[in-house]
C-alpha cells in the first residue's frame, strides 16, 4: 500500500542509491525534511522535497562535508550544488536552488543567508484613455505654461496614442523618423525594438504637427533627455483631474487596446515591439467582443506584407 501521510512518505522513502550510502545519511535527511518544510497534503510534493534534500546531502558528503546543517545548507554550498550537480536540466537546477534556499533559511542559524527580499508589487495595468479624453489632452497641450511642457505633452500624446511608443522610445523619435507614405504616416522606431509603425489615422495631424514643431530635431526635446524626463514633464503638466495621471504607459495602453481589436495578433506583435503577457491579458478583459471568422493564413500573410506594415 502506497504511503499516504507525510510522515509515512518520509519514513518509507528509499532513493536509488547503494543501501550503505542511504543508511549513512537517511536519519539526517529525514530530520531536515521534517524541520524545514511547511505542512502539505500533496504526497507528490513531499516526494519531491525529500528527493531534493537527499540529492543535496549525498552530493555534499561526496564533496567531503560532514553531516552538519550549517555547512551543507550554507549559501555557497547550495549554490555550488545547483550549478555543478550533473544530470539536471536548467529549469530543474533553478527550481532546486529556490527550494533549497527557502529550506536553508528555515533550518540554519549561523549560515550567512540574507533576509528574504520583499517582493516588489506589480503596478496595475494603466487605464486607457477614451478618444474624447485624448482629444482633450491634445487641446491642453498648446496651453501649457512652458515650451518644454507644450512640446513634451504634444509629442507624448501623439506618438503614444497614435503609434504605441514606450517612454524610452518617445525621447528618441526625431522629425526625420516621421514619414508620409501615400495616405499613411509612418513612425520609425530605433533601438532594441526597431520597427516601423503606421500612425492611427485619427491622429495623423497630431503626429505631423509634433514633427513640424520639432524643427528638424527630436519631437520630445533636444538634446535627448534621460527616459525619466518623460514622466517628470507629464507629471507637471496642468491638466484636469480626470486626465491624471498622464504616463507614457497609459498612452501606450490606449494604443494597445485599439490595436488588439483591430489587427490579428501576429501583426500586433510586430507593431508593438513586445508587450508583456500580463498587460495583454488585463487589457483583453475590457475588449468589446466582435464576432468574426478566424483569420486565414493568406489574410495574415497579406496583412504582414501590406503597406505600410
Report long-range pairs for 121-126 (Cβ below 8 Å, ≥24 apart): 122/278, 124/282, 125/253, 125/278, 125/279, 125/282, 125/283, 126/247, 126/249, 126/250, 126/252, 126/253
- 221, 151 contact by CB (below 8 A): yes
In the structure, how many helices (H) and strands (E) does the chain have? 15, 3
Burial 2-11 (b: 16+ CB within 10 A, else e): eeeebeebbe
Give the pLDDT confidence score for residue 209 in this predicted structure: 95
pTM: 0.57
Residue 309 has pLDDT above 50, yes or no: no
* Burial class of residue 288, CB neighbours in 10 A (0-12, 13-18, 19+): exposed
Question: Mutual orientation of helices 204-213 and 147-163 as an angle, nearest 10°?
Answer: 140
Query: Nearest CA to 169 among 161, 157, 160?
Result: 160
292 has a pLDDT exceeding 60 = no
Q: 193-232 pLDDT, tens per residue?
A: 899 999 999 999 999 999 999 999 999 989 888 878 888 9
Distance of alpha carbon 302 from alpha carbon 296, whole angstroms:
10
- At 116-158, the pLDDT tens digits run 666 555 556 678 999 999 999 999 999 999 999 999 999 999 9
Across residues 11-29, what is the average pLDDT? 93
Mean pLDDT calculated for residue range 51-60:
94
Residue 282 has pLDDT above 90, yes or no: no
Cα 284–Cα 136–Cα 237 angle in degrees, nearest 5: 100
CATH number 3.20.20.60 is the correct assignment for the domain at 131-305: no
pLDDT computed for residue 92 by the predictor:
85
Domain spans, the chain: 6-107, 131-305
pLDDT in the model for residue 43: 82
Q: What is the DSSP code string of 247-305?
A: -HHHHHHHHHHHHHTTS-HHHHHHHHS---HHHHHHHHTTPPP---PPPPHHHHHHHHH
Q: For residue range 158-205, what is the model confidence (pLDDT) as tens digits?
A: 999 999 998 889 999 999 999 999 889 999 998 888 999 999 999 999
The number of beta carbons lying within 10 Å of the beta carbon of residue 167 is 20
Amino acid at each position: 500500500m502506497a504511503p499516504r501521510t507525510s510522515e509515512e512518505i518520509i519514513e518509507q522513502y528509499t532513493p536509488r542509491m547503494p543501501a550503505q550510502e542511504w543508511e549513512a545519511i537517511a536519519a539526517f535527511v529525514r530530520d531536515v525534511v521534517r524541520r524545514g518544510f511547511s505542512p502539505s497534503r500533496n504526497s507528490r510534493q513531499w516526494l519531491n522535497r525529500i528527493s531534493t534534500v537527499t540529492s543535496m546531502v549525498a552530493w555534499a558528503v561526496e564533496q567531503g562535508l560532514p553531516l552538519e546543517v550549517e555547512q551543507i545548507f550554507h549559501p555557497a554550498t547550495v549554490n555550488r550544488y545547483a550549478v555543478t550537480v550533473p544530470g539536471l536540466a536548467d529549469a530543474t537546477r533553478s527550481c532546486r536552488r529556490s527550494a533549497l534556499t527557502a529550506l536553508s533559511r528555515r533550518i540554519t542559524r549561523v549560515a550567512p543567508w540574507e533576509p528574504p527580499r520583499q517582493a516588489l508589487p506589480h503596478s496595475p495595468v494603466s487605464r486607457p484613455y477614451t478618444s474624447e479624453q485624448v482629444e482633450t489632452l491634445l487641446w491642453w497641450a498648446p496651453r501649457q505654461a512652458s515650451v518644454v511642457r507644450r512640446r513634451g505633452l504634444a509629442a507624448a500624446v501623439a506618438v503614444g496614442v497614435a503609434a504605441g511608443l514606450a517612454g524610452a522610445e518617445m525621447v528618441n523619435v526625431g522629425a526625420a523618423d516621421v514619414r508620409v507614405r501615400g495616405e499613411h504616416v509612418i513612425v520609425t522606431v530605433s533601438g532594441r525594438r526597431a520597427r516601423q509603425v503606421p500612425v492611427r489615422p485619427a491622429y495623423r495631424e497630431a503626429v505631423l504637427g509634433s514633427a513640424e514643431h520639432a524643427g528638424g530635431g527630436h519631437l520630445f526635446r533636444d538634446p535627448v533627455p534621460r527616459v525619466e524626463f518623460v514622466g517628470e514633464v507629464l507629471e507637471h503638466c496642468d491638466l484636469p483631474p480626470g486626465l491624471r495621471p498622464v504616463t507614457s504607459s497609459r498612452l501606450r495602453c490606449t494604443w494597445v487596446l485599439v490595436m488588439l481589436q483591430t489587427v490579428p495578433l501576429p501583426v500586433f506583435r510586430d507593431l508593438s515591439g513586445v508587450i508583456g503577457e500580463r498587460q495583454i491579458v488585463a487589457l483583453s478583459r475590457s475588449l468589446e467582443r466582435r464576432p468574426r471568422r478566424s483569420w486565414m493564413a493568406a489574410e495574415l500573410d497579406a496583412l504582414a506584407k501590406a503597406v505600410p506594415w
